[in-house]
């Protein structure tokens, strides 16, 4: 497995790479969820294609300097995961390699980003779109894999691909869960034992609520189950149109029940498709 730290090294590797090139963009701190994305990329690329994992903690998608500084960067362990899942190459640029100090062009998404996580994090998804577009262009990848846990991110990137006529295929991967249903996240490691034991209620709430037949019951039931915890604090709980991410009351179209829940300082997100309305 090769490692490229600069764009020049990456280009040299890619000039010699066999197609298709499948990218798995990450910010490192890889867990089993990321490992599954790499395995899916390997499957799609076949033995002849090239799987590239990017490990880059993208500074322009953080709205709090403390979060950026505290973000874990376990490079050696991350490289082991990439190797174990048969990635062909890893791109590990530093900030200076990715961004000119006087950079002045970014991607802006003006609609989907105004809902859910984006409502409280102005500029976050512009930072995500900008780095993802750069990674697509730098690698020339035919396809890229993204997890469905970050449903809004997936929707925003699909919108960018549509609106900018990008030729990269977006491959979604279902959320990987712990055995008790908690969605895998690098943040889970920061939960206290009490919070970790309580957090699977998020999944239970979404599953139970998604079985209800009307919007009011869906939101009420999910709110009651999560709100029944003395630890959990709901940041948002919304039923949204799966395409526009705007709040919806229309169960005749694909909808997503999505939430963000704080346990202390740790903010967990999860979502479920409310597909019961579709025969």
User: First-to-last CA distance in the chain?
Assistant: 46
Instruction: Pick from 4, 23, 131, 272 the residue near ligand PAF by CB under 6 A.
Output: 131
Measured from the CB of residue 57, what is the shortest distance to ligand PAF in angstroms? 8
Looking at the annotation, which residues are catalytic?
A: 34
Kindly identify the residues of this chain, within the stretch 153-172, that bind ligand PAF according to CB under 6 A: 153
Kindly report the backbone phi and psi dihedral angles of residue 273, in degrees, each rounded to the nearest multiple of 5, phi listed first.
-75, 135
132 binds ligand PAF (CB under 6 A): yes
Smaller CB distance to ligand PAF: residue 189 or 275? 189
Name the residue nearer to ligand PAF (CB basis): 130 or 248: 130
**Interactions with ligand PAF, residue window 61-120 (CB under 6 A):** 61
Please state the closest distance from residue 189 (CB atom) to ligand PAF, in A. Answer: 16
The answer to whether residue 128 forms part of the interface with ligand PAF (CB under 6 A) is: yes
In the region spanning residues 8 to 27, those forming contacts with ligand PAF, defined by CB under 6 A, are 25-27
Residue 26 CB, nearest distance to ligand PAF (Å)? Answer: 5
CB of 273 to ligand PAF, least distance (A): 20
The number of beta carbons lying within 10 Å of the beta carbon of residue 33 is: 20
Segment near ligand PAF (CB under 6 A); pick from 15-23, 91-99, 124-132, 221-229: 124-132
Helix and strand element counts for the chain (H, E): 11, 9
The window from 128-136, 163-171, 211-219, 245-253 that contacts ligand PAF (CB under 6 A) reads 128-136
Burial class (CB in 10 A: 0-12, 13-18, 19+), 141: buried
Assess contact for 239 and 233: CB atoms under 8 A: no
- Shortest approach of ligand PAF to residue 157 CB, angstroms? 8
> Is the bond leading into 70 cis (omega within 30 degrees of zero)?
no
Contact (CB, 8 A) for 38 and 87: yes
Sheet holding 89-91, edge to edge: 2-4, 89-91, 50-55, 21-26, 143-147, 169-173
Query: DSSP letters of 227-266?
Result: HT-SSEEEEEEEEEETTT--B---TTS-EEEEEEEEETTE
In whole angstroms, give the CA distance from residue 242 to residue 248: 9
Q: How far is the CB of 23 from ligand PAF (least distance, A)?
A: 10
CB nearer to ligand PAF: give 135 or 209. 135
Instruction: State which residue, 45 or 60, has the beta carbon closest to ligand PAF.
Output: 60
Give the 3-state secondary structure of residue 107: coil
Written as six digits, the tokens of 248 are 């919806």
* 36 near ligand PAF, judged by CB under 6 A: no
**# chain residues binding ligand PAF, by CB under 6 A:** 10
Q: How far apart are CA 186 and CA 86, in angstroms?
A: 21
Rule CB under 6 A: say whether 185 interacts with ligand PAF.
no
Residue 183 binds ligand PAF (CB under 6 A):
no
Interface contacts to ligand PAF, rule CB under 6 A: 25-27, 58, 61, 128, 131-132, 150, 153
């Amino acid at each position: 497995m090769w490692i490229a730290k600069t764009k020049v090294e990456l280009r040299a590797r890619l000039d010699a790479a066999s197609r298709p090139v499948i990218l798995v963009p990450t910010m490192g701190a890889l867990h089993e969820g990321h490992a599954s994305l790499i395995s899916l990329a390997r499957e799609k690329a076949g033995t002849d294609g090239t799987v590239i994992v990017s490990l880059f903690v993208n500074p322009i998608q953080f709205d709090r300097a403390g979060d950026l500084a505290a973000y874990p960067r376990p490079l050696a362990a991350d490289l082991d995961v990439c190797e174990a899942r048969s990635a062909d190459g890893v791109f590990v640029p530093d900030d200076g390699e990715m961004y000119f100090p006087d950079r002045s062009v970014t991607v802006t998404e003006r609609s989907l980003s105004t809902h859910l996580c984006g409502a409280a994090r102005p500029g976050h998804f512009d930072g995500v779109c900008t780095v993802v577009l750069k990674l697509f262009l730098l690698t020339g990848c035919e396809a890229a894999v993204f997890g469905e846990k970050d449903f809004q991110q997936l929707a925003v990137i699909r919108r960018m691909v549509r609106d900018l006529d990008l030729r990269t295929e977006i491959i979604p991967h279902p959320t990987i869960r712990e055995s008790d249903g908690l969605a895998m996240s690098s943040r889970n490691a920061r939960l206290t034992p009490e919070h970790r034991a309580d957090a699977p209620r998020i999944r239970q709430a979404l599953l139970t609520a998604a079985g209800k037949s009307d919007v009011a019951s869906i939101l009420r039931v999910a709110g009651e189950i999560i709100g029944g915890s003395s630890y959990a604090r709901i940041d948002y709980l919304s039923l949204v149109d799966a395409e526009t991410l705007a709040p919806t009351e229309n169960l005749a179209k694909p909808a997503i029940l999505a939430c963000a829940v704080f346990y202390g300082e740790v903010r967990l997100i999860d979502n479920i498709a409310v597909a019961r309305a579709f025969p």
